[in-house]
């Protein structure tokens, strides 16, 4: 008997390719819509406009930190120091605020200190050839320790009226931190997807040796990447410090690195670098915000929220490996 061979249906193959492309490029948006709809069904309070604005406000600081983490992870690295650098920047900026009485000087001090901390991270990784995990782990311990020493393990409060306006003012229905988060997202998106620097970062994350052979100044790109992450952390530090007009050297910034990494991975950025999108991180941050909000509305113990985040990271990595 002759074997009857069935030829593959080109239409079916094309449909599968389209679905694969759709899931690959828009999986985080699809996941966001599913979680948003599920949250709307589970809790009638979820869709309240004040609750929605509260979610945006809650994720604004982590969102800005996650943008910097995305750039670092796209380059093939990781930054574990973001939470400690944030509190260190906050302490130094409040000291500058109280010493000079100038909000502008406090902001400039924060931006300089945060960028310099990122620069040191980049220098250790690029010139010192230290693994990013180890280099930023050292910075995490050092920055927190210095902040604790300066603040004597407690909090430092601002003494200048008007500083709290940065985080507690609004434009129309949006609070300033939310607007700053949106603006930072747009700027980093343009930087990473519309400029030569962004192409260099993707090239570095995809194949560092190939990037080096392509005459890309790999060391400079690495230093710039970590400096940018430090700059964004300093923006988040300004918002956090302004919100309560104080910064706690012991509790502020705790586990921010976990939240930032979770948002980046949920957004589709690979741990190995070279693949991911800023818009993915944006939706990853929103997904985390919705999940946190839902757990609070459903009276889930705050002690279990870290477990949920850890589980989400593992699931997201498993899905990435199957792509």
Query: What's the confidence (pLDDT) of residue 209?
Result: 92
Q: How far apart are CA 23 and CA 17, in angstroms?
A: 10
Query: What's the confidence (pLDDT) of residue 121?
Result: 97
Residue 147, domain extent: 52-322
Query: What's the confidence (pLDDT) of residue 299?
Result: 82
Q: How far apart are CA 187 and CA 56, in angstroms?
A: 18
SS3 per-residue string spanning the chain: CCCCCCCCCHHHHHHHHHHHHHHHHHHHHHHHHHHHHHHHHHCCCCCCHHHHHHHHHHHHHHHHHHHHHHHHHHCCCCCCCHHHHHHHHHHHHHHHHHHHCCHHHHHHHHHHHHHHHHHHHHHHHHCCCCCHHHHHHHHHHHHHHHHHHHCCCCEEECCCCCCCHHHHCEECCEEHHHHHHHHHHHHHHHHHHHCHHHHHHHHHHHCHHHHHHCCCCHHHHHHHHHHHHHHHHHHHHHHHHHHHCEEECCCCCCCHHHHHHHHHHHCCCCCCCCCCCHHHHHHHHHHHHHHHHHHHHCCCCHHHHHHHHHHHHHHHHHHHHHC
The answer as to whether 18 is a domain residue is no
Buried/exposed 157-192: b ≥16 CB within 10 Å, e otherwise: ebeeeebbebbeeeeeebbbbbbbbeebbeebbebb
> Residue 102: what are its φ and ψ, rounded to 5°?
-110, 125
The answer as to whether 193 is a domain residue is yes
The answer as to whether 217 is a domain residue is yes
Asked if residue 62 lies in contact with residue 285, where contact means CB atoms within 8 angstroms, the answer is yes
Could you tell me the two tokens for 262?
A: 């979770």
The answer as to whether 263 is a domain residue is yes
Q: What is the CATH classification number for the domain harbouring 197?
A: 1.10.3470
Q: What is the CA radius of gyration of the chain?
A: 22
Query: What's the confidence (pLDDT) of residue 2?
Result: 47
121 alpha-carbon distance from chain centroid? 17
Domain count of the fold of the chain: 1
Query: What's the confidence (pLDDT) of residue 306?
Result: 78
Could you tell me the two tokens for 321?
A: 């490996």
Query: What's the confidence (pLDDT) of residue 23?
Result: 58
Query: What's the confidence (pLDDT) of residue 247?
Result: 95
The answer as to whether 43 is a domain residue is no
Q: What is the pTM of this model?
A: 0.91
Query: What's the confidence (pLDDT) of residue 137?
Result: 96
Residue among 119, 90, 121 nearest 106 (CA): 90
The count of C-alpha atoms lying within 13 angstroms of the C-alpha of 51, restricted to the half-sphere facing its C-beta, is: 16
Asked if residue 85 lies in contact with residue 259, where contact means CB atoms within 8 angstroms, the answer is no
pLDDT tens track, the chain, 323 positions: 445 445 555 555 556 556 555 556 678 888 899 889 999 998 888 999 999 999 999 999 999 999 999 999 999 999 999 999 999 999 999 999 999 999 999 999 999 999 999 999 999 999 999 999 999 999 999 999 999 999 999 999 998 988 999 999 988 889 999 999 999 999 999 999 999 999 999 999 999 999 999 989 999 999 999 999 999 999 999 999 999 899 999 999 998 999 999 999 999 898 888 889 999 999 999 999 999 999 888 888 888 877 877 787 787 777 765 55
């Amino acid at each position: 008997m002759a074997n009857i061979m069935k030829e593959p249906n080109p239409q079916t193959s094309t449909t599968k390719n389209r679905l694969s492309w759709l899931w690959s490029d828009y999986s985080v948006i699809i996941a966001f819509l599913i979680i948003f709809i599920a949250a709307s069904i589970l809790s009638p309070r979820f869709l309240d406009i004040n609750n929605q604005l509260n979610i945006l406000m809650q994720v604004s600081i982590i969102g800005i930190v996650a943008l910097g983490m995305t750039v670092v992870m796209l380059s093939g690295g990781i930054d574990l120091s973001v939470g400690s650098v944030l509190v260190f920047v906050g302490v130094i900026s409040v000291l500058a605020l109280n010493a000079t009485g100038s909000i502008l000087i406090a902001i400039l001090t924060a931006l300089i200190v945060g960028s310099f901390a990122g620069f040191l991270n980049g220098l250790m990784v690029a010139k010192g050839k230290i693994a990013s995990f180890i280099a930023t782990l050292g910075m995490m311990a050092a920055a927190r320790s210095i902040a604790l020493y300066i603040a004597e393990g407690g909090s430092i409060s601002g003494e200048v009226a008007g500083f709290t306006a940065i985080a507690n003012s609004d434009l129309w229905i949006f609070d300033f931190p939310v607007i700053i988060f949106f603006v930072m997202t747009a700027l980093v998106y343009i930087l990473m997807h519309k400029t030569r620097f962004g192409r260099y970062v993707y090239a570095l994350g995809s194949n560092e040796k190939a990037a080096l052979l392509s005459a890309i100044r790999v060391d400079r790109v690495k230093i710039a990447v970590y400096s940018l992450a430090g700059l964004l952390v300093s923006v988040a530090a300004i918002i956090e410090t302004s919100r309560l007009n104080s910064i706690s050297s012991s509790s502020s910034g705790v586990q921010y690195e976990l939240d930032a990494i979770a948002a980046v991975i949920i957004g589709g950025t690979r741990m190995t670098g070279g693949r991911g999108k800023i818009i993915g991180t944006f939706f990853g941050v929103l997904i985390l915000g919705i999940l946190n909000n839902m757990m609070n509305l459903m009276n889930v113990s705050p002690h279990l929220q870290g477990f949920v985040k850890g589980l989400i990271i593992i699931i997201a990595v498993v899905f990435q490996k199957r792509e």
